């Protein structure tokens, strides 16, 4: 532990598993007190137990981030336990598959409600405290799908592009008031979401190889490689960074035609 986040109080949404869990765990290792926010109460507590067993500080905050009342009360609870929240990671998301004509309106609405409106509600609830102490770092989890057109992810891609617009707007609103707002846009990450997706396919191995080959670096990313960028953006090392979207995608979003092996 190098203490890069010592003294910070961080909330990470969608932290019961996957990339959010990886970010929460790294934040705690770097000295932050962490609120583990997720729909899944038991899994939240399990992450907290792991963090505490490693000597870190964390609290489980089971909530649905689409519910304004639950969001307000989870933030008040975190403030009661650890003090003013100074870092917010908006990581929770859902990913309905399909082109527009294949996407049910209810699935589109849920995607917007979790990915965009949930992020908005979390920001609204923590910003007054950040303004009071004159410091804060807010990081939205976007995706390369917010930059590139990838097939079959219409609703998800719209919300992930929306998060980048939200971060840019917020960064200008709060730049002179001590709050930085940035986005991270990963490519495909070796995560439970990817494993579940592959497990549901008839012939997963060639598909897994396609995911690897799609990234110029020649492989999908690891959770810790995404978490590292969040640690940087949450820390005071990133004091001049706001309004940015950091791609963590092995070069996917800038690739041209690839030479054949």
Binds ligand NAD by CB under 6 A, chosen from 114, 153, 167, 238: 114
Burial class (CB in 10 A: 0-12, 13-18, 19+), 105: exposed
Nearer to ligand NAD, 175 or 254 (CB): 254
Nearer to ligand NAD, 29 or 252 (CB): 252
78 forms part of the interface with ligand NAD (CB under 6 A): no
Phi and psi at residue 92, to the nearest 5°: -60, 140
89 forms part of the interface with ligand NAD (CB under 6 A): no
> What residues between 35 and 74 interact with ligand NAD by CB under 6 A?
38-40, 64-66
Catalytic residue among 27, 82, 156, 230: 156
DSSP 11-43: EEETTTSHHHHHHHHHHHHTT-EEEEEES-HHH
Selected range binding ligand NAD among 46-54, 73-81, 86-94, 172-180, rule: CB under 6 A:
86-94
CB within 8 A of 11, min separation 6: which ones? 34, 35, 37, 61, 74, 75, 78, 85, 87, 88, 89, 122, 126
25 forms part of the interface with ligand NAD (CB under 6 A): no
Selected range binding ligand NAD among 33-41, 75-83, 202-210, 233-241, rule: CB under 6 A:
33-41
Nearer to ligand NAD, 161 or 193 (CB): 193
* Integer Cα distance of 59 and 49 in angstroms: 9
* Integer Cα distance of 124 and 127 in angstroms: 6
Selected range binding ligand NAD among 81-89, 167-175, 191-199, 238-246, rule: CB under 6 A:
191-199
DSSP 156-182: HHHHHHHHHHHHHHHHHHHGGGTEEEE
Q: Catalytic site residues?
A: 156
Residues in contact with ligand NAD by the rule CB under 6 A: 13-14, 16-20, 38-40, 64-66, 91-95, 114, 118, 141, 143, 186, 188-189, 191-194
């Amino acid at each position: 532990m190098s203490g890069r986040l010592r003294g910070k109080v961080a909330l990470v949404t969608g932290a019961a598993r996957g990339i959010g869990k990886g970010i929460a765990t790294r934040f705690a290792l770097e000295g932050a007190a962490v609120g583990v926010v997720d729909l899944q109460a038991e899994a939240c507590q399990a992450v907290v137990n792991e963090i505490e067993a490693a000597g870190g500080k964390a609290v489980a905050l089971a909530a649905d981030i689409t519910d304004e009342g639950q969001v307000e009360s989870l933030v008040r609870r975190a403030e009661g336990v650890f003090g003013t929240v100074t870092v917010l990671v908006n990581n929770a998301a859902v990913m309905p598959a399909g082109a527009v004509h294949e996407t049910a309106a209810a699935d589109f609405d849920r995607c917007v409600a979790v990915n965009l409106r949930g992020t908005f509600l979390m920001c609204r609830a923590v910003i007054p405290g950040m303004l009071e102490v004159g410091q804060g770092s807010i990081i939205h989890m976007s995706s390369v799908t917010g930059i590139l057109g990838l097939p079959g992810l219409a609703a998800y891609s719209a919300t992930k592009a929306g998060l980048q617009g939200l971060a840019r707007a917020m960064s200008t609103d709060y730049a002179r008031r001590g709050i930085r707002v940035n986005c991270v846009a990963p490519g495909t990450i070796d995560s439970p979401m990817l494993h579940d997706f592959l497990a549901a396919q008839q012939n997963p191995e060639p598909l897994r190889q396609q995911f690897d080959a799609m990234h110029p670096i020649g492989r999908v990313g690891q959770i810790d490689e995404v978490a590292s960028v969040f640690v940087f953006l949450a820390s005071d090392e990133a004091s001049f960074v706001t309004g940015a979207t950091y791609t963590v995608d092995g070069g996917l979003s800038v690739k041209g035609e690839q030479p054949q092996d």
